[in-house]
């Protein structure tokens, strides 16, 4: 066989050779900025700026972007993944901690991996059985699973190499975050604060999965002794018997290695229960809740911390994305952390020592008036601690910005934040009335009194929830521009050297925007919500923009769906200039006629509503308005009504991911929940008879408002 006779084959062979996976070495990760074609780690480089240096797609031609390919998963369950792209292959994760490898130019499946997470684990996955991504090192990929395992997968074959259980399976820990890797170690945290856990981060040997170190983020019971001096110091800032509730402080998202200073930064989560008077009666800052914590990556030793929200009282995690940047600051270059977590401030922190340089609000903030720059502490506004008196507080417990990735462009010097401008009412449960339910969601507040409800509604009506793509100028400490979105809960952000920012929205649009001024240049209808951050890469010499598409995860599950159409299965979509792939059409489904109402008093149905909001709405949606990622209970077929109790109490569908609730609920309560669900089915049926499927603009507005109010009620009854 003569090569010259097969020029196409030769080219293909050479192309395949050039795309043969070179190991993702430490050196490659360190020089990711100049490795333009790839996306080697969760935030693209160790800086986690989510800035692609590619510029073939730019402000001149972004209007010609079209769908190049899509890969369809086999589920409606949420996709929060940021794909990795390594030498022509895309690696990403899906629901139930699955992983996939596909050809980055075609979307063709190469392998898939299923760690077979026991489905009953869904009960303690606060926000869906989602997963945000993988880490790559040498020829391995690392995956965290909902049941707390850290698994090394062979990058070429997709087979498991090793697996380590990083949590006590009997406790309510879960993993949804992406591992990070540096210096031969894999760093992994976990979630589960509200379910009664104590947060920690661990490092594992990338070669064999053996644990190298573990650092707890909050102290345990002092009677058991302290793991280190940092825990002993932290314990002085706690009171009462917080360890009975776990205390929280889980590190479920941001873990960032800084190669310049050889430090590891951890975004530490909220306190649990949220109400600090229950968690730590007698006060105290409750270190290291809601802090950025710097550790020695080799040993896990404490280096420094900056606590953003001392004595967190509102579920203000600091777990959100930590971005490293070198920025001009008052006449000199500073190495800083850019952080825009739930609490609603952009924090600029000197990453050498944790010194606070700036803390300015990027959204409506009422819990604090400002930061005292001498002490680095927030000044709380009176009454916002809801101590004995309910209060409407901004941001809500969902935060001014949550896990959806943000991006920083060194080209514009701007930080792009998927912002959520929304408040919520807090009405505390007094200590003696508080009942802690292990393995269920615990907050320590609620909404009970009708008068309080009216007052809250009025306050919230004055300031309806809004959401923006917001560009923040760190040097000027102010908003550079912001683009409003029609719906709340929008997706993560990518910035590129083409002068562009990409973001998906909850109402199903994927947007290309000018990075310098926010002008909208390109829109694509994805047919489904877009939640995670997009990525950009080059395959076969062409630049692609790719993003995971699909509802699911806490935000849309809580607030219901914004589409009348059937959910397509969740997908990865990749775009390129001139792409011409077409999505199959979506359909409007037939809905079953609801069964007759159960014979039950209004008071019992109301009790059913309250129970639903506490135990069911986190997945099936407030007011039983589902997002379609799991069954919408208003549209149950008769067989599920017949088996309602068996599903809820006896675990009939446990293997499919529907947990059993016999620890928390009795038969009478389940019947009341069932009665409420049937009433909601009737209400929805009547609404559809009257006006058809939310088709016109009027109904779209009602839908937005209903979903918001539903969310308010949901969050205040847990």
The residues that touch Ca ion, with contacts defined as CB under 5 A, are 270, 315
**Would you call 386 exposed, middle or buried from its count of C-beta atoms within 10 A (0-12, 13-18, 19+)?**
buried
DSSP string, 628-686: SSS--GGG--HHHHHTHHHHHHH-TTGGGT----TTT--HHHHHHHHHHHHHHHHHHHH
Residue 218 carries which DSSP code?
S
Cβ–Cβ < 8 Å for 97, 649: no
The smaller minimum CB distance to Ca ion, of residues 315 and 385, is found at 315
Token readout for 143 is 């995956």
Catalytic residue, from 87, 285, 315, 627: name it.
Answer: 315
Residues 399 and 460: their CA atoms lie apart, in Å, by 16
**What minimum distance in Å lies between the beta carbon of 344 and Ca ion?**
15
**What minimum distance in Å lies between the beta carbon of 248 and Ca ion?**
7
The smaller minimum CB distance to Ca ion, of residues 270 and 526, is found at 270
Token readout for 516 is 């310098």
Residues 556 and 632: their CA atoms lie apart, in Å, by 12
The smaller minimum CB distance to Ca ion, of residues 24 and 555, is found at 555
Residues 118 and 554: their CA atoms lie apart, in Å, by 20
Exposure on the CB side of residue 706, measured as CA atoms within 13 A:
17
**What minimum distance in Å lies between the beta carbon of 193 and Ca ion?**
5
Cβ–Cβ < 8 Å for 557, 129: no
Residues 216 and 631: their CA atoms lie apart, in Å, by 37
The smaller minimum CB distance to Ca ion, of residues 185 and 440, is found at 440
Continuous segment of H or E residues that includes residue 698: helix 697-716
**What minimum distance in Å lies between the beta carbon of 397 and Ca ion?**
7
**What minimum distance in Å lies between the beta carbon of 648 and Ca ion?**
25
Residue among 68, 210, 203, 48 at smallest CA distance from 133: 48
The smaller minimum CB distance to Ca ion, of residues 253 and 627, is found at 253
- Residue 627 C-alpha from the chain's centroid: 16
**What minimum distance in Å lies between the beta carbon of 319 and Ca ion?**
8
Residues 717 and 443: their CA atoms lie apart, in Å, by 9
DSSP string, 40-98: -STTSSTT---EE---SS-TTTGGGEEEEEEEE-S--S------EEETTEEEEEEGGGE
The smaller minimum CB distance to Ca ion, of residues 93 and 317, is found at 317
Residues 485 and 506: their CA atoms lie apart, in Å, by 9
Cβ–Cβ < 8 Å for 153, 136: no
Task: Sheet containing 185-188: give its strands across.
Answer: 180-182, 185-188, 200-205, 211-216
Instruction: Please say if 315 is a catalytic residue.
Output: yes
78 upstream amide cis, omega within 30 of 0: no
**What minimum distance in Å lies between the beta carbon of 265 and Ca ion?**
19
Give Dmax over CA atoms of the chain in angstroms: 86
The smaller minimum CB distance to Ca ion, of residues 437 and 702, is found at 437
The smaller minimum CB distance to Ca ion, of residues 315 and 360, is found at 315
The smaller minimum CB distance to Ca ion, of residues 246 and 579, is found at 246
Residues annotated as catalytic are 315
């Amino acid at each position: 066989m003569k090569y010259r006779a097969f020029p196409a084959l030769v080219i293909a062979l050479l192309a395949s050779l050039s795309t043969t996976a070179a190991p993702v070495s430490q050196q490659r990760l360190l020089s990711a900025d100049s490795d333009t074609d790839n996306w080697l780690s969760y935030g693209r480089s160790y800086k986690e700026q989510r800035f692609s240096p590619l510029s073939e797609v730019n402000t001149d031609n972004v209007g010609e972007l079209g769908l190049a390919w899509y890969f369809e998963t086999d589920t409606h369950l949420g996709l929060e993944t940021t794909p990795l792209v390594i030498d022509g292959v895309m690696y990403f994760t899906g629901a139930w901690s699955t992983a996939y490898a596909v050809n980055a130019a075609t979307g063709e499946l190469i392998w898939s991996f299923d760690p077979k997470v026991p489905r009953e684990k869904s009960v303690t996955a606060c926000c869906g059985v989602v997963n945000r991504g993988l880490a790559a090192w040498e020829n391995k990929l690392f995956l965290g699973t909902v049941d707390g395992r850290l698994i090394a997968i062979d990058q070429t074959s997709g087979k498991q190499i090793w697996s380590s259980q990083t949590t006590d399976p009997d406790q309510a820990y879960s993993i949804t975050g992406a591992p990070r890797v540096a210096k031969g170690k894999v760093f992994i945290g976990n979630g589960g604060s509200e379910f009664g856990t104590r947060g920690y981060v661990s490092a594992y040997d990338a070669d064999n999965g053996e644990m190298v170190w573990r650092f707890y983020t909050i102290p345990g019971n002092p009677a058991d002794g302290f793991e280190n001096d940092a825990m002993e110091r932290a314990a002085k800032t706690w009171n009462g018997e917080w360890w009975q509730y776990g205390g929280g402080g889980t590190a479920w998202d941001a873990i960032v290695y800084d190669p310049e200073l050889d430090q590891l930064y951890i975004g530490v989560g909220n306190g649990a229960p949220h109400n600090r008077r229950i968690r730590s009666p007698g006060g105290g800052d409750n270190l290291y809740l809601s802090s950025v914590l710097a550790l020695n990556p080799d040993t896990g030793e404490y280096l420094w911390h900056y606590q953003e929200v001392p004595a967190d009282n509102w579920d203000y995690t600091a777990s959100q994305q930590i971005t490293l940047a070198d920025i001009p600051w008052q006449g000199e270059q500073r190495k800083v952390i850019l952080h825009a977590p739930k609490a609603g401030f952009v924090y600029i922190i000197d990453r050498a020592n944790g010194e606070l340089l700036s803390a300015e609000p990027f959204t409506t903030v009422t819990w604090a008036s400002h930061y005292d720059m001498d002490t680095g502490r927030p000044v709380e506004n009176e009454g916002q601690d809801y101590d004995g008196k309910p209060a409407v507080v901004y941001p809500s417990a969902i935060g001014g910005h949550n896990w959806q990735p943000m991006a920083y462009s060194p080209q514009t010097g701007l930080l792009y934040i998927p912002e959520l401008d929304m408040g919520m009412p807090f009405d505390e449960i007094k200590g003696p009335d508080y009942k802690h339910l292990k393995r269920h969601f615990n907050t320590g507040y609620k909404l009970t009194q009708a008068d309080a409800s009216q007052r809250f509604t009025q306050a919230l009506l004055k300031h309806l929830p809004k959401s923006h793509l917001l560009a923040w100028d760190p040097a000027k400490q102010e908003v550079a521009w912001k683009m409003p979105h029609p719906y709340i809960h929008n997706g993560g952000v990518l910035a590129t050297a083409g002068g562009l920012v990409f973001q998906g929205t909850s109402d199903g649009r994927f947007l290309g925007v000018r990075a310098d001024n926010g002008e909208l240049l390109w829109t694509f209808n994805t047919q489904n919500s877009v939640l995670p951050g997009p990525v950009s890469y080059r395959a076969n010499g062409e630049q692609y923009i790719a993003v995971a598409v699909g509802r699911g995860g806490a935000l849309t599950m809580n607030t219901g769906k914004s589409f009348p159409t059937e959910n397509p299965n969740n997908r990865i979509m990749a775009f390129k200039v001139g792409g011409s792939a077409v999505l199959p059409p979506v359909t409007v489904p037939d809905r079953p006629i609801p069964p007759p109402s159960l014979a039950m008093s209004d008071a019992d149905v109301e009790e059913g509503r309250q129970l639903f909001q506490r135990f069911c709405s986190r997945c099936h949606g407030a007011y039983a308005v589902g997002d379609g990622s799991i069954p919408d209970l208003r549209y149950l077929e008769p067989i599920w009504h017949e088996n309602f109790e068996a599903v809820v109490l006896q675990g009939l569908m446990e293997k499919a991911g529907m947990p059993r609730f016999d620890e928390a609920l009795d038969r009478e309560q389940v019947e009341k929940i069932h009665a409420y669900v049937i009433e909601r089915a009737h209400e929805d049926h009547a609404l559809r008879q009257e006006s058809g499927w939310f088709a016109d603009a009027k109904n779209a507005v009602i839908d937005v408002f209903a979903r918001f109010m539903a969310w308010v009620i949901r969050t205040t009854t847990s």
